[in-house]
Structure 1
Amino acid sequence: MDEMAKFGFGFMRLPEIEGADGEMHIDIDQAKEMVDIFMDAGFTYFDTARRYHFGKSEAALKEALVDRYPRDSFQLASKLPAWVAKGPDEARAMFDASLDQTSAGYFDFFLMHNLGEYRTKAFDEYGIWDFLFQKKEDGLIRKLGLSFHDNAAALEAVLDSHRPLDFVQLQINFADWENSLIESRKCYEVARARNLPVVIMEPLKGGSLVHLPAAAVEVLREANPEVPLASWGLRFAASLPGVLTVLSGMSTADQVRENTRIMTSLGPLNEQERVALEQARAILASVPTVPCTSCGYCVEGCPEGVRIPSALYALNIMTLFDDMPMASHEYDWRTAGGRASSCIECGACELACPQHIEVMKELARAAELFE
């Protein structure tokens, strides 16, 4: 494959259906179809984690991929979130649980999951660095890395105080490239200064970059009217030197078809497109929105089951598009069973949020606007 064909399937936002028990479950039939489209296009990197889909992603990946394809035909990545464990034994047991859930035999890539802020210390206190390096020596991990949600200085401190890793996974997209909170460019530069390959997550900022303000869309369409909006984010990320793969958490078969086509048939950004993307970034930076990427960490710890990313998504529709009917429809549909008004202001969501959002304040605004 050519240089643009660096693409990974994130098992984070899979389609769901309601089961006989009234609960939402991963739609395995659709997941299988999506895996087949992805593999048929020549891509082989799959990314999952213990916490994705409330702990169901690894088992879904086993059923949709591992059970159906030869082990040497794909690369599999999973992650260990030590910061949710109550102690070292529980944290270390997560590795064996992931091996069991996926039935993968070994991991091509394995990550310490979501280091940054208070979450970092658990990996040291529980001895997870040495534990996972031993798993690598035992042949159960081929490449060991970490995923990171914090600033560049914190990333530099972590990398320089531990044994060298094989790669890092960072949140990088054109909207956050110069963002003072996310520091995409600065984190990328920290990794590259240490010759670490980079796996890119959130290249479309949780799908937000295909729902751009009209002024930004106009700029991009003028530069190249033939390419889909998703191509700008994916091609920006894939064009960066030192990128191992670009992950996309796709939710439909059509998204898989479009994104694999982008990554196989469209080349890197040309100079005219780069200028247009800078102009679009400036437009985005001028619009104050809630920087939610729908990672779901806030939901997992919410005692009331509030559909937090969905509520924030509806707020952003109003901010970007000033479309109350659309925003209200999205809110009513996506937050059923977990309205913003159910928030008891315990603060668990704000502790879990990688984007440092004032979630409780935003939920109060959503409740007032949509309920």
Structure 2
Amino acid sequence: MTIQNLETMPKLGMGMMRLPLRDEIIDIEQVKRMVDHYLENGLNYFDTAYVYHGGKSEGALKEALVTRYPRESFYLADKLPAWAMKTKEDRDRILNEQLDRLGTDYIDFYLLHAVEDGTNYNTYVDLDCFEWAKQKKAEGKIRHFGFSFHGTPELLEEILDQHPEVEFVQIQLNYLDWDNPVVRSGRLYEILRSRNIPMIIMEPVKGGTLANLDDEVSNILTAIHPDHSQASWAIRFAAGLPGVMTVLSGMSSEEQLKDNVNTITHFESLNDQERKAIEEVVYILSHRNTVPCTGCSYCIDGCPSKIHIPELFKALNLARMYPDSLNGPKKLYKQMIEAGESGLASSCIACGQCESVCPQHLPIIKLIAETANKLEN
């Protein structure tokens, strides 16, 4: 498959990171219905990872998709996690485990997971993962090789200069992060586009943030399209960019999936009026003082205090947005703690594990302390 072919891939990819749950377990019957609807509309790109849903995502994909449809009728994307490897032997161990979990003998799109400046990238270099991926491609265990990226533009250019074998790159991109000084989506896009490297887009709705806008900003969009969902604006922004291969959405309900499928199957690029509306939304949102957490949950598994950091930040954001009315945020926080969904913010020992894996590079320790100060006192 050439780069030209890659650019004709389905514009909507089904992400397997935020699957629907029933009693804290993946609701496999609902996932099957979602898979069926997605495929029935001519879409067939499924994205999972070794660590999603505590290692259960790949098995769910096997049950909902691989065992029910011909293997050649869909694409599978999976990822090699730096933080799960200590030796070169771990590369094959993990890949073979993934193939077994998925119930397949090859993966269509294989990525080095969350490449960024520092530990993750150093691990991939130290364990010679780029050369290893070329070998796995030659063996037929993977068909296409790339990486997901959360680093600086400078590192992206360095990697692409050193590794012309990279066929595609997955980046976080949405209309709110285009000029974000930390994420720098716009600059990453420009680098990849200038090299004609196809892009997979993750976090197009920023972890649900752009699908749950408050009245002040949502009214700007509904004034133009009263019947369009907020998420559809974000999906159209990303999918309409030249060079974008697939836009991933981690849909956690049939309703969300059907809305996104409808957006893509009746796709129209944004016009000038719509772009101006989005610019107005960005201006308002970017001038608010909220934590830009996407809810990826990478920070949770290794937390010794069992703090559900993304949920804490939802309460903190409410407190920041409405500093004169903390009853709501405090109630939300109290319910979370009493239900056993998270450890207390004040139980944080500042070990730094969360900050070392945060794709958004958030000062999590400082933010948790702020949460404790505002919502526990």
The alignment's TM-score, normalised by the length of structure 1, stands at: 0.93
SS of the aligned residue for 2:268 comes to: coil
CA distance in 2 between partners of 1:205 and 1:156 (Å): 24
Aligned to 1:81: 81
Write the letter of the residue equivalent to 1:315. L
Offset at 1:163?
A: 3.4
CA distance in 2 between partners of 1:255 and 1:165 (Å): 32
CA distance in 2 between partners of 1:120 and 1:269 (Å): 36
Aligned to 1:177: 178
* Matched ranges for 1:88-167 at <5 A: 88-118=88-118, 119-167=120-168
User: Quick check: 1:213–1:320 contact (8 Å CA) kept in 2?
Assistant: no
Moved more, 319-328 or 331-340: 319-328
> Measured at CA, do residues 258 and 3 of structure 1 come closer, stay the same or move farther in structure 2, by a change above 3 Å?
farther
CA distance in 2 between partners of 1:4 and 1:111 (Å): 17
CA distance in 2 between partners of 1:273 and 1:154 (Å): 33
User: Quick check: 1:92–1:128 contact (8 Å CA) kept in 2?
Assistant: no
Aligned to 1:298: 299
CA distance in 2 between partners of 1:271 and 1:226 (Å): 19
Aligned to 2:280: 279
> Measured at CA, do residues 158 and 333 of structure 1 come closer, stay the same or move farther in structure 2, by a change above 3 Å?
farther
> Measured at CA, do residues 203 and 70 of structure 1 come closer, stay the same or move farther in structure 2, by a change above 3 Å?
same
Aligned to 2:313: 312
Q: Does residue 54 in structure 1 map to residue 54 in structure 2? A: yes
CA distance in 2 between partners of 1:324 and 1:97 (Å): 47
CA distance in 1 between partners of 2:132 and 2:330 (Å): 48
User: Quick check: 2:9–2:245 contact (8 Å CA) kept in 1?
Assistant: no
Q: Does residue 194 in structure 1 map to residue 195 in structure 2? A: yes
CA distance in 2 between partners of 1:300 and 1:334 (Å): 18
> Measured at CA, do residues 267 and 53 of structure 1 come closer, stay the same or move farther in structure 2, by a change above 3 Å?
same
Write the letter of the residue equivalent to 1:180. P
CA distance in 1 between partners of 2:292 and 2:169 (Å): 22
User: Quick check: 1:106–1:139 contact (8 Å CA) kept in 2?
Assistant: yes
CA distance in 1 between partners of 2:56 and 2:229 (Å): 31
Moved more, 327-336 or 96-105: 327-336
String of CA shifts for 1:60-112, please: whole Å, max 9, x gaps. Answer: 11111111111111111000012331222123321111111101221111101
CA distance in 1 between partners of 2:100 and 2:321 (Å): 44
String of CA shifts for 1:261-319, please: whole Å, max 9, x gaps. Answer: 11112411111101111111111111121111111111122122210111112222343
Gaps of 5+ in 1: 19-23
Moved more, 244-253 or 211-220: 211-220
String of CA shifts for 1:225-269, please: whole Å, max 9, x gaps. Answer: 231101110000000001110000011111111111111124111
Aligned to 1:16: 21
Offset at 1:220?
A: 1.7
Q: Does residue 67 in structure 1 map to residue 70 in structure 2? A: no
Gaps of 5+ in 2: 1-6
User: Quick check: 1:302–1:348 contact (8 Å CA) kept in 2?
Assistant: yes
Write the letter of the residue equivalent to 1:111. L
User: Quick check: 2:14–2:45 contact (8 Å CA) kept in 1?
Assistant: yes
Aligned to 2:260: 259
CA distance in 2 between partners of 1:82 and 1:181 (Å): 22
User: Quick check: 1:4–1:235 contact (8 Å CA) kept in 2?
Assistant: no
CA distance in 1 between partners of 2:332 and 2:100 (Å): 37
> Measured at CA, do residues 258 and 65 of structure 1 come closer, stay the same or move farther in structure 2, by a change above 3 Å?
same
Write the letter of the residue equivalent to 2:279. E
Q: Does residue 367 in structure 1 map to residue 368 in structure 2? A: no
Moved more, 216-225 or 134-143: 216-225
The alignment's TM-score, normalised by the length of structure 2, stands at: 0.91
User: Quick check: 1:4–1:268 contact (8 Å CA) kept in 2?
Assistant: no
CA distance in 2 between partners of 1:304 and 1:137 (Å): 44
CA RMSD of aligned residues (A): 2.0
